[in-house]
Amino acid sequence: MLKGERPDPVGTWPKVLGCWAKAPYYWGVVDAVNFALVSSRLKPLYNAVASMPWSMYLSQTVNT
């Protein structure tokens, strides 16, 4: 929408479903490490850093 294009639901749904399918694998590992190894005061920082690659993946997926 920011590019001035209309959304394409037919082309968007496979991307959305693909991201949803991969999310538990990524966030499951990230959360397991977070809760098992990271101290309580550093958990928010760890989560913020771990969300950067996920955001980059989402951006790449949407823009391909």
What's residue 63's pLDDT? 77
Q: Taking the model in full, what pTM does it have?
A: 0.76
What local confidence, expressed as pLDDT, does residue 48 receive?
96
pLDDT at 3 over 90: no
> Under 8 Å CB-to-CB from 33, ≥6 apart: which residues?
46
Tracing tokens 């694998």 back to the chain, one arrives at 25
Domain ranges of the chain: 35-64
- Give the residue among 16, 22, 5, 10 at the shortest CA–CA distance from 62: 16
24-48 pLDDT per residue, tens = 999 999 999 999 999 999 999 999 9
